[in-house]
A and B are shown apart, each in its own frame.
Chain A
């Protein structure tokens, strides 16, 4: 069946603001879908309320609608555009729900729009647990014993019948919202109540928990001709009981025999064919008994592109969203070519000659009082993926990618040594369980104890045990005596030079020099979907320690852009947006743009974005080896958030050119003492502050500064550990907390300007001229982190005098810092005085927002300035200024019902939306403005 030519114009629905369970992966799928359809000559319209996305860029779609995801917006679009079909399967559950809502209201029918890529009947079956159950019975696919309850009474009866442990899964919810595993009778009633409330139709499925069974996911593609392929098999390292989004996962499946795998494959195909008629992507989850029977039961099926399909695409190289879009418009798999090889069929199942490990990234530190135990409801905010030639290498690399201050799995002096703590953690998994498994082996805990506590498949545990054995073997040597073979083994198993330095008690650089002297070097291998069976053109590489290097260095001048690593609160998709634009701008300037990042959810790690992608930890050792291999003219660090920025010092030390603002200036802005000195020289007001390293000194200084005080560690992003204190006791307490979490860190205490108005400016500077791209005023008063405030572009009640001051200060500071590229400055305004709170000479969270609101490619411009290709005066700025744009923070508190929703100087929001209003009479603005003090805590 060839392409359906009656489809000339398609509407893609995005997933809205980032929340736990629905993150950047839908920007990846949405933008890939848009490009895939445009390739076919189809006019693409796109709706999404999340401005920090690539999918809502002019480079992606023809008509962009930054509107709330609600039927009224859809009607508006359908009135303005002639839309033939809507593709709702790329925007997660949010998009599907909206599409169904519109269908129920007859909107699609009224405007003659077809729904493609999904079948609402299929969704109804998969979302309604009872229907799904019946369907599975019909086609002979086993499931865990379960019943549906629509009332509290029914639920209690079912529980009695099935017995504990039980799983409660609300129908029609996202990321396991409201779901839980119940081990104890006393928890049941509360959990049932919560589950019923979480489901929009007040229905829950109660199943017998198959705790400890192995868990798998298959990613499928299906076309109109009912051809089905399995793109990827993913095995969960963590057995049943933990949401797959919160599980460490591995691809390909590691512990499945062909017999069992094929049985599962057959079931998956039967399932996808049984639920309605749609062409597109689909995800199926299974559980396999951990005994000799190897019984398989189906858990769920999601007939849409999902978080796992983004992971599967990055893991295999096979662009699921791109192909799924083509299938949605009528193509069949055999008519399409595998874009990776360019000459073999898309109708095939990728083969991997490496292992990928995904580890979720959590932010429990931001949700004080949150239950840290992992369960059926997803709690992580991001993820990293690592590629290696063995499970161990991939696991180590993933641990190095996490941005949690670890140098890998174990061997970094941060091991837990308390047996009881470890055992508790093994039984009650939280974010750090994998680290504790390593620690447990290191402490000499028995294999059986560890297995019994975790129920993790013995194969995985043995792999970790083997690492610990290797570590103790290495520990018998010194840097001088370690045999080459052992060092090779350690590098092949993913140990970083830093970890080896820790074991061998020497410096990282000494380990590096030793292995170079012994010719133990990183090589780069290609990700090609086919295990090297065919030649591939993909510029998609990972590093390992093996014989042959496949990454050929071109003659072109190169620029490396450092990515922002895993999404977390304070560093989200905005930075990926900036990185992608940096890449595109570098390409426009004629450079070969090379991206380094380890976040599988993003557009930056789509191998069609950069000229060359290294899917690697944004970790010094990996970056340095890539730089040595590629020899770029320079590295861009100011687009990838704090992850990239904090590598500036080392790059500078190793004589690697940083493009744009120099390390010296970056450091000056971060160093509160020097920066304040600069401000006084420029006669710019700033809150009185002091930098201390002990609680005693802090209390002493507080007398001088006066309460309230804002206390925080230096060099952090997103207001990590930032708090406002009002007396000496609180002050001392918080300083000690920080010192405990981050020993040897300097602590900043500022006089807090209570009741002040906050504002921020973003600007591009080339060292001579400054262009202010936008000023935003926060609706909430000072004290709430800028990332958590509603902010208005342009300011809504600042006087001309204040604005002029902000503009002048911005220019002065940008120039004084010798900024080349972007800068963001935060202000507090009190009694008509404009104080500078901080300056960040890098892409900020707000740049993408302003770019979207004013419809100008500021990151592109700034990158060209960094590269020295353009000056600020070369650009013809022409912002579209109509009314106001409000940045609305979006939280994921519903995932943490036990956490009180209070806001303060530490950022908690996971995403943002954009709202355009014509004037200040707008009811939306009114509501936000009137509630501005509602959630303020200290």
Chain B
């Protein structure tokens, strides 16, 4: 049942339960497992527009976090049988084990058209014997996504390190709900990665002596993350190179005085066109966000340059600071799921780090 009334009936693919969350649709034709386990989808009910889900099962190494993060799942055809040879299990087994409710047999296209027209909203799905009134009550009690802080729910509780302890490059990741593939990209570049909880203090981070800071993706509204924004601002002020992805991009933007807003529908899929205004080249990107940075605030701020725009609706897809080694993008260069067109951004981040290290060395020498 949707917040504004419509009720859809389908077939439950899982245990008896009821789940509530913001309903959103994803248009990717591959990568369902990556979506389910992406912390950015925390507490959302995801509708897949692709008609078949489950065809290639579940493969351990493709998860983006330790568990399923979505609140519930809606699709047209749920395939219990898969054909992949790689070590894997069926989606059904996986959902049963993780305790996830999926509903199939829904006219997903009708549902998506409804959400497209009416905008993002909450929904409740159930496989229990509940009356419509009961469901309405549950929906009424559910909080709206706007203003909701969720990063704390998916962030690591303890700081941990990954990679080569003796690495020359130390990257601190502020974990607002980080995807595994982001960490993998950093590790593949040979960095020592320190993953910090969302509420880490400035002191804790500077103590670790990071060469660069990556502010991760994550769920929820960026606005309540005031302390994080302040901390990030302080790090930036120390001239530490910083790179923000998705929620991280929004928080970096907030730290520089830009504004964010809740989008009518958001972008969720792996076919989103983005233009890099600096190179003039375009990239097809993986996206998953319901909030964005306002264009006006970005253009108003003299310290900020808009570097990437979304070609469909001209929203801000990336910025950089003119006088600091800082940039961030609204989309997912780490892919998983989605195209690898934007992997160069990790390259760019490491370039900034090495340049800044050179400068630091030069300054030291100069002194």
Contact = CB atoms under 8 A, between A and B. Distances in A.
Contact of A350 (B86, B271, B275): B271
Interface string A489-529: 00000000000000000000000000000000000010000
Nearest to A547: B107
Interface string A218-247: 000000011101100100000000000000
A550 B77 CA distance: 20
Interface string A351-392: 111110000000000000000000000000000000001110
A262 B107 CA distance: 28
A294 B77 contact: no
Contacts of A351: 27-29, 49-50, 269, 271
A348 B113 contact: no
Given A258-B31, A347-B282, A353 B51 contact: yes
B112 A532 contact: yes
Contacts of B76: 353, 389-390
A256 B30 contact: yes
Given A229-B284, A352-B29, A390-B77, A531 B49 contact: yes
A349 interface: yes
Contact of B83 (A262, A457, A533, A534): A457
A629 interface: no
Contact of B116 (A227, A233, A535): A535
A874 interface: no
A446 to B, nearest CB: 16
Nearest to B30: A258
Contact-residue bracket for chain B? 35 or more
B207 interface: no
B349 interface: no
8 contacts: A257-B30, A259-B336, A291-B85, A345-B273, A351-B269, A353-B50, A353-B112, A532-B109
A226 B79 CA distance: 38
A290 interface: yes
B190 interface: no
A252 B79 CA distance: 16
B146 interface: no
Contacts of A257: 30-31, 33, 56, 59, 62, 84, 86
Contacts, number: 166
**Secondary structure of the A contact surface, majority rule:** loop
A348 B52 contact: no
A233 B110 CA distance: 25
Interface string B71-82: 000001101011
A394 to B, nearest CB: 9
B84 A254 contact: no
A186 interface: no
A292 interface: yes
B87 A292 contact: yes
A292 B57 CA distance: 13
B112 A531 contact: yes
Interface in B300-328: 311-313
**Secondary structure of the B contact surface, majority rule:** loop
Interface stretch (B12-20, B129-137, B241-249, B337-345): B337-345
B55 interface: yes
B211 interface: no
Given A258-B62, A459-B81, A533-B116, 17 more contacts: A257-B31, A257-B84, A258-B336, A259-B62, A262-B340, A265-B339, A265-B340, A344-B311, A349-B271, A351-B269, A352-B29, A355-B52, A459-B55, A459-B56, A459-B79, A546-B109, A548-B107
B365 interface: no
B85 A546 contact: no
A483 interface: no
A462 interface: yes
B120 to A, nearest CB: 13
Contacts of B337: 258, 262
B116 A534 contact: yes
B34 interface: yes
A189 B284 CA distance: 48
A332 B279 CA distance: 14
B272 interface: yes
Interface residues of A, number: 54
A722 interface: no
The 8 closest A-B pairs by CB, nearest first: A258-B31, A531-B49, A345-B311, A548-B110, A459-B83, A547-B107, A349-B271, A258-B30
Contacts of B8: 547
Interface in A255-273: 255-259, 261-262, 265-266
B83 A294 contact: no
A225 B275 CA distance: 12
Given A252-B50, A254-B52, A347-B273, A227 B83 contact: no
B335 interface: yes
A529 to B, nearest CB: 10
Contacts of B281: 225-227
A319 B313 CA distance: 21
Contacts of A266: 339-340
B49 A353 contact: yes
A532 B27 CA distance: 9
Interface string A40-83: 00000000000000000000000000000000000000000000
A525 B109 contact: yes
Nearest to B337: A258
Interface in B78-124: 79, 81-87, 107-110, 112-113, 116
A531 to B, nearest CB: 4
B366 to A, nearest CB: 41
Contacts of B269: 351, 533
Contacts of A200: none
B291 interface: no
A530 interface: yes
A258 B338 contact: yes
A469 to B, nearest CB: 12
Contacts of B338: 258, 262
A334 interface: yes
Nearest to A338: B312
Contacts of B271: 348-351
B5 interface: no
A458 interface: yes
B25 interface: yes
A390 B112 CA distance: 17
Nearest to A457: B83
A227 B282 CA distance: 6
Residue from B8, B87, B284, B313 whose CB has the most chain A CB atoms within 10 Å:
B284
A204 to B, nearest CB: 33
A737 B171 CA distance: 79
Contacts of A548: 107, 109-110, 113
Contacts of A349: 270-271, 284, 339
A532 B113 contact: yes
Contacts of A294: 85-86
Contacts of B25: 531, 533
Residue from A345, A352, A389, A530 whose CB has the most chain B CB atoms within 10 Å:
A345
Contacts of A354: 51
Contacts of B28: 258, 351
A225 B270 CA distance: 21
A225 B55 contact: no
Contacts of A334: 273, 275, 282, 311
B124 to A, nearest CB: 19
B29 A252 contact: yes
A462 B339 CA distance: 30
A345 B110 contact: no
A510 to B, nearest CB: 26
A258 B311 contact: no
B146 to A, nearest CB: 21
Nearest to B80: A462
Contacts of A550: 109, 113
Interface in A62-108: none
A348 B29 contact: no
A664 to B, nearest CB: 43
Nearest to B34: A258
